[in-house]
Structure 1
Amino acid sequence: MMPNIGQLVAAHHKTGAYIAEVVEIAGSKALLKTLGVTKHPTQGDLHNPNQADVVLFHQRRALAYLEKVWVPLQAIEVYEGSIPDYQATLREALEKEIAHWTQALPSRFAERCLIELENLKTDYFPKG
């Protein structure tokens, strides 16, 4: 898809998904400005998926409001909705990720994910 500058798009970046505005296009990538979160990034070491006992179990934050990121054109599609409230989308995406790992089969990986996600929740929403 070849988007236009100023167009709203849905984009996948690493293990998260976002609603964003196209700021710039260069070659096969678009510079996007983050406006909402539709899927919170997966926690842990991406090189060792679903493994809890790794050298560094990464805490993966969602892109911040208005944070800019280069994304390959093949990872974006047209977004038809209105511009969402960033905080509301972040909260909803985080709650979905927490619910997923809460309902998952008990494992050390799920436990580690929940620890990181709860820490992020406290960081993102310090007043609750």
Structure 2
Amino acid sequence: MSEFQLKSGDLVTAAYKSGEYVGELVELYPPRVAVVKILAVLVHPTQGDLHHPFAANVPLFHQRRALAYGEKASAPLASVRPYDGEVPEYKASLKKALEEQISKLREDTSEWAQRSLVQLKELQKEYFAE
């Protein structure tokens, strides 16, 4: 276990698949799992196949959505850390994380990056359709 004590109700950061989030700790299942209620997005999930990262020629190139506001996720306990900042508003945090990922991928000319950009732009339309 870690050097800090976590309890239900604590604000935490947690990694889930390839995204990173701010959330409220709901339950702990040591030594491996923490259930976290999602409040904000820090890093948008990476597109593609998690088992073949950065590979474009895979049988299924996954479109990976960010976890939704209030969604509960079982995050690896090793990825959970206390969070002491102000929690950003969910929609604004999602937009920022998505724009940061798109910006990074625009600099990458690989086939994986270009396929990822297509997926992220589709998600952008879905997330922010009014």
Q: Same fold (TM over 0.5)?
A: yes
Shift of 1:83: 2.2
Is 1:22 equivalent to 2:25 in the alignment? yes
Q: Name the residue aligned to 2:83.
A: 79
TM-score when scaled to structure 2? 0.92
Is 1:34 equivalent to 2:4 in the alignment? no
Shift of 1:71: 1.4
Residues in 2 aligned to 1:14 and 1:49: alpha-carbon distance in whole angstroms: 12
What are structure 2's unaligned runs of at least 5 residues? none
RMSD: 1.0
Q: Name the residue aligned to 2:16.
A: 13
Alignment length, in residue pairs?
A: 126
Give the partner amino acid of 2:20. A
Residues in 2 aligned to 1:66 and 1:52: alpha-carbon distance in whole angstroms: 32
Give the partner amino acid of 2:54. N
What are structure 1's unaligned runs of at least 5 residues? none
Shift of 1:26: 2.1
1:64-92, Cα deviation, whole Å (9 max, x unpaired):
00000111221111101122200000000
TM-score when scaled to structure 1? 0.94
Residues in 1 aligned to 2:26 and 2:50: alpha-carbon distance in whole angstroms: 28
